[in-house]
Amino acid sequence: MADDLSAVARFLYEAGTLKHARRTGWWMAGVRDPESVAEHSWRTSLIASVIAKLEGADPARAAFLAVWHDTQETRTGDVNHLGKKYSAPADPRAITADQVSGMPELLAATVRELIEEYEAKESPEAICARDADKLECMLQGIEYRAQGYESAQRWIDNSRGRIVTETGQQLADELLSQGPLEWLRAALGEKPDS
């Protein structure tokens, strides 16, 4: 007999709300329509796999951690750093426990363990995933700055200062040395801007 997947189905609908949940910190930089939590999580997962591979950690595990790292925001919304100053942060482990309640135990235990690992900040994969979170914010800030949001520089600087892996730091420096359209110029065989 198959497991009851009704709680899993409910969670998949819940996770979809992250496609509409905006990253609220960017509003303070004047960004009218910032990226969604889901968009942020997708690129964070991609970056986590890159950092982990280059750091000698498990890229699939790092991406797995990163894709789940903000799933609790379906329940809390995206609380930016200023908002956290005025309210006690919700425990991601407690939220996750509620989210996976009723799911098949094999799946529920896996998700709880993922969030515990990410929050513990100790495994090489968690460190890579956390760096990816900071690097993605920095990268998004660079893109917003290029769109004219000069206040995004604060996010760029703060994120850059919180990256700890050697690969993450090198990648941050490389991103800072390029513009958001360098990939397009390279793909078209054009010479870089001087």
Residue 130 lies in a domain: yes
Residue 17 lies in a domain: yes
> Does pLDDT of 1 surpass 60?
no
User: What pLDDT sits at residue 84?
Assistant: 81
- Number of structural domains, the chain? 1
Look up the CATH number of the domain holding residue 82: 1.10.3210.10
CA dist., res. 183 & res. 186, Å (int): 5
Taking the CA of residue 157 as centre, how many other CA atoms within 13 Å lie in the half-sphere pointing to its CB? 5
Residue 24 lies in a domain: yes
Burial class (CB in 10 A: 0-12, 13-18, 19+), 124: middle
pLDDT in tens, 90-121: 899 999 999 999 999 999 999 999 999 999 99
Residue 118 lies in a domain: yes
pTM (2 decimals)?
0.93
Residue 133 lies in a domain: yes
Q: What are phi and psi of 22, to 5 degrees?
A: -85, 150
Residue 190 lies in a domain: no
Residue 14 token pair:
């819940």
Residue 86 lies in a domain: yes
pLDDT in tens, 171-182: 999 999 999 999
Range of the domain at 28: 6-180
Residue 185 lies in a domain: no
CA dist., res. 63 & res. 122, Å (int): 16
Strands (E), 13-159: none
CA dist., res. 182 & res. 174, Å (int): 11
Residue 87 token pair:
């309210």
Residue 1 token pair:
């007999």
Distance of CA 76 to the CA centre of its chain: 16
pLDDT in tens, 121-168: 999 999 999 999 999 999 999 999 999 999 999 999 999 999 999 999
User: What pLDDT sits at residue 89?
Assistant: 81
User: What pLDDT sits at residue 193?
Assistant: 63
SS3 for 29-63, per residue?
A: HCCCCCCEHHHHHHHHHHHHHHHHHHHCCCHHHHH
pLDDT in tens, 20-65: 999 999 999 999 999 999 999 999 999 999 999 999 999 999 999 9
